[in-house]
Structure 1
Amino acid sequence: MVDGSVGTDMTLEKMGVSAKSAAKVLRKMSTAAKNGALIKMAEALEAEQDFILQENMKDLMHSREAEYPEAMVERLTLNQARIEGMASGLRQIAGLPDPTAVSKGQWVNADGLRITRRSVPLGVIGIIYESRPNVTVDATALCLKAGNSVILRGGKEAINSNRALVQVLKAGLDGSDIPADSIQLITDPSRELAAKFMKFNDGLDCLIPRGGGSLIQTVLDNATVPVIETGTGNCHLYVHEEADLEMAKSILVNGKTQRPSVCNALETLLIDESIAHTALPVLSEALAEKGVLIHGDAAVCAIVKDAVPATNADYSQEYLASEIAVKVVADYEAAVAHIEQYSSGHSDAIVTTSYTHAEAFLDDIDSAAVYVNASTRFTDGEMFGFGGEIGISTQKLHARGPMGLEALTSYKYVVEGSGQIKA
Structure 2
Amino acid sequence: MSNEIEIGRGKRGRRAYSFDDIAVVPSRRTRDPKDVSTGWQIDAYHFDLPILAAPMDSVMSPDTAVALGNHGGLGVLDLEGLWTRYESPEPLLAEIRDLPVAQATRRMQEIYAEPIKPELITQRLKEIRAAGVTVAGALSPARTQEHYRTVVDAGVDLFVIRGTTVSAEHVSGNAEPLNLKRFIYELDVPVVVGGASTYTAALHLMRTGAAGVLVGFGGGAAHTTRVSLGIHAPMATAVSDVAAARRDYLDESGGRYVHVIADGGVGRSGDVVKAVACGADAVMLGAALARASEAPGRGWHWGPEAHHSQLPRGERVEVGTAGTLEEILFGPGHHADGTTNLVGALRRAMATTGYSDLKEFQRVEVVVSPYQPR
TM-score clears 0.5? no
Q: Which has the larger radius of gyration?
A: 1
TM-score (norm 1): 0.24
Higher relative contact order (CA 8 A, sep 6+): 2
TM-score (norm 2): 0.27
